[in-house]
Amino acid sequence: MIKSVKVYSTPTCPWCLRLKQFLRENNIHFEDYDVSTDQARAEEMISISGQMGVPVLDIEGEIIVGFDKEKIKQALGL
């Protein structure tokens, strides 16, 4: 089953880069939102996570803050 995955990130965040690399390595398709340039997505990220820090993942409505590999694997069924 293909899950809907959204990544809220910035281009300068090393954890964001690691997270996106991890998703690519596992052939997970994701939407990437650059919250440094997209104010609406930044506000959306803060409202769903309560966080201003990146990365924030939304996997089918499950919100994961930071690059928590085990939580991400579990949410994706890897």
Residue range 24-53, pLDDT digits in tens: 999 999 999 999 999 999 999 999 999 999
List of residues 6+ apart from 5 with CB closer than 8 A:
23, 28, 29, 30, 31, 57, 58, 59, 60, 76
Q: Which two tokens stand for residue 26?
A: 């596992």
Specify the CATH class of 5-67 in words. Answer: alpha beta
> Cα separation of 44 and 40, whole Å?
6
Whether the pLDDT of residue 2 is over 80: the answer is no
Angle at 68 between CA 64 and CA 77, to 5 degrees: 75
Mean pLDDT of the chain: 95
pTM greater than 0.75 (yes/no): yes
What pLDDT was estimated at residue 34? 98
